[in-house]
Amino acid sequence: MPSVITAFRDLDRLREIVAVLWRHGFGEVVQRLGLDTLLVARGAESTDLRSHSIAQRVRFVLQDLGPSFVKLGQIASTRADLLPPEVITELKILQDDVKPITWDAVREEIESDLGGPVGELFLSVDERPLASASIAQVHRGRLRPAAEGEAAREVAIKVQRPGIQETVARDVDLLYWFARALERAVPESRRYSPVDLVAEFDRSIKAELDFLQEADHAERFAKNFEGDARVRFPGVFRSHSGKRVLTLEFLDGRKLNDALAQGLDGRALASTSVHVVIKMIFEDGFFHADPHPGNLLVLGSNEAPVVGLLDLGLVGHLSGATRDRALDLMVAAAREDYSAVADALYALGRPTRKVDMAAFRTDVETLGRKYVGRALGEIEVAAVVRDLIWGAVKHGIDMPPDFMLVGRALMTLEGTARQIAPDLDVFSEAKPYLIRLVAQRYSPDKLTGDLVRTALRMSGMAGQMPEQVSEILEDLRKGHLTLKTADAETPLAFDRLGRRLFASLVVASLVLGGSVVLAVGRHPWVGAALLAAALLGGGAHVVSDWWRALGLRR
């Protein structure tokens, strides 16, 4: 776990972070963290605080601090349950916009990871990059034919930036240290769970940096959609892939804007995209978490488009139980059953306190009447998801992180659909598919399988029950049976009671001793000193007790 030693080891980077925060108007945060001594210069902030909101300045900070922090912002943009809407809106603007690395650096990375000269590994490689992002760069290439008489295979070679793993590891360590320091020094920041956000970023960025894991994702997606002509995923060439270099089938498609300019049937593509994402989430439980237009290619004809999905590093997983509950939520929303929407949200989340279900259902119904049933052009899925999540959190229901990725995927899908088919109603488009999934859930085969699993579990429990009952009765006969209850407040109450009793005895003794000395009349200054000590000791105990109680409430 990162520590202050880590922070000192990367002192220059920490100093850079502090300078960027100060430059964009977060000097108070720097001072409360006690990091203002790291500032080389304390000039005026470069950001115009009057013309830019706090949310905008947060985005400026992340952009200035580079790739790791941009990725952090992109992941944080999915946490509508933690961050205010205006911050989410700004973080969604963050894009990877970085200068390409040189061909010499790319070649060195390929040869280091794959263990051979580029000229022997590939028939040819275009030195000009197809795309350049914060984590990796993509080049087009050709593989030698697998057999004589076959054509060379077109590939896309994805190469990590040199040193990116070390850079990210260093920044993650500093982020952990910074998040913990922020929670200690700025208590009001705890509602946004800085440490949890960094932990989520840590998991996500590690997954994106392992290209072998991305290769696994591509193969799993291809298997899940085997035989489905509506969607394509690039094939993986394992012989030419490693942890830092990934060689994929080159999908010769068109960018979305180019396809629209060439007469693409936008409604057909939007409908296909909806069905693909719904299948990923609610049927497979394994979905592309960032299906934005930059990760989408249009294959096939304008009348029968095929969706090509790229950049498969960031994915979401849903367990069977979570998938069923998310499906219940979508079906309830499509049916405009607001009470069922509230029940599904409650089942999805984790209550942190007693939930007033009547008030919660009323809030959900108010929200439902505002959004549900309108055409896509009239509503924002992002706003619906955000309001539902904030409503649940307000009533003490925390949403699981994987469901946040579902929200991100649906919000991204909305943005794409709005661009190509503004009049498409997502709920109407998805309703037949969702109904079919519900029918499958309650099919005789599915119910029979559930009953068999339940019977097996019950059988195992029944087999263990006689032995467990015998052990309980034997403990009872010998007098060894004890019942234990735990109350988190009881130790604290005993601690306070003990402290107060001890302080009372000490003060009473001092008062009694001082009074006796004064009554005797010999050495009156000793009696006065004892009484003064009683007064000071009693006052010190009251102040310390109040301060300790205040700390516990925080």
Give the Å distances, CA to CA, from 316 to 67, 102, 276, 500. 22, 33, 14, 53
Q: Which two tokens stand for residue 459?
A: 């059988």
- Look up 356 and say whether it is catalytic: no
Q: What sign results for the dihedral spanned by CA atoms 449, 451, 453, 456? A: negative
Q: Which two tokens stand for residue 481?
A: 């049976």
Name the DSSP class of 117: -
Q: Which two tokens stand for residue 94?
A: 């963050």
Tell me the C-alpha distance between 130 and 483, whole Å: 68
Q: What sign results for the dihedral spanned by CA atoms 75, 76, 82, 85? A: negative
Q: 276 Cβ partners below 8 Å, 6+ apart?
A: 225, 230, 231, 307, 309
SS3 assignment for 297-359: EEEECCCCEEEEECCCCCEEECCHHHHHHHHHHHHHHHHCCHHHHHHHHHHHCEECCCCCHHH
Strands 350-351 and 397-398: antiparallel
Strands 231-232 and 305-309: parallel
Residue type, 424: L
- Beta-sheet strands, E only, within 350-509: 350-351, 397-398
Q: 355 Cβ partners below 8 Å, 6+ apart?
A: 346, 395, 396, 397
Tell me the C-alpha distance between 364 and 338, whole Å: 6
Alpha-carbon 102 to chain mean position: 33
CB of 367 within 8 A of CB of 391?
A: yes
CB of 383 within 8 A of CB of 374?
A: no
CB of 94 within 8 A of CB of 74?
A: yes
CB of 197 within 8 A of CB of 182?
A: no
Out of 10, 290, 311, 328, the active site residue is: 290
Question: In terms of residues, how long is the chain?
Answer: 554
Catalogue the active-site residues: 290
